[in-house]
Every structure is written in C-alpha cells, then in structure tokens.
Amino acid sequence: MEENILRPDRDEIKAKGKMYYHPEDHAWNILRIKKEILNEFKPLKEKMSKFSYNMFFHSEWNNFELAIRRHRRKGLPPPIMMWFVKENL
C-alpha cells in the first residue's frame, strides 16, 4: 500500500472541533473534520476513497523538533498540530 500524504493549499488553517465518545467501541474515536479543513484537503471529500492517519507524539519539545527536522529532510509536508482540550461543563 502506497502512502500519499495530503498537502493543504493555503499556508495556515485554523479550526476548532469536537471529539465524541462512541459507546459501542468504549473509545473517544470520533473526530468531526471541519469544513475549513475539508476545503483544503480536497481528496477527503472522495466518499469511495480510504484514508488513514499517521500520528506521532513527543512529550519533550527537543525530541519533537528533531522529528520535525527528520520529516522535513524527507520532503514531507508540515504536520497538523493538534492539542486535546478538556472543556469545562
């Protein structure tokens, strides 16, 4: 299986979204993708295509920066930065 990492058309995209708990899976596994993001990553609108994601996490900034440099040397696009935010009820 060949991976083709999608690239946005614009330089900066800002979007806020929600995560949802799926009771049957007992997991927080539903992320709703906002229209702003779908408009930048046009292939995500293809209903018959399959998509996956690659996620990496570093708890230390130094290790994160080293990973970013490695990805940049490989010619990969910049990653999407995402924070998990616990909302007050």
Task: Print the domain residue range for 52.
Answer: 19-73
Give domain status of residue 30, yes or no.
Answer: yes
What is the C-alpha to C-alpha distance for residues 3 and 9, in angstroms, rounded to an integer? Answer: 19
**Confidence band, pLDDT 50/70/90 cuts, at residue 75:** very high
Cα 59–Cα 62–Cα 67 angle in degrees, nearest 5: 85
Q: Is residue 25 part of a domain?
A: yes
Any domain includes 23: yes
Prediction pTM value? 0.67
- Give CA angle at 53 (49, 58), nearest 5°: 175
Average pLDDT value for residue range 45-54: 88
Is residue 36 in a domain? yes
Alpha carbon of residue 83 to chain centroid: 10
**Is there a contact between 18 and 32 (Cβ–Cβ < 8 Å)?**
yes
Please check whether residue 61 lies inside any domain of the structure: yes
Count of the separate structural domains present in the chain: 1
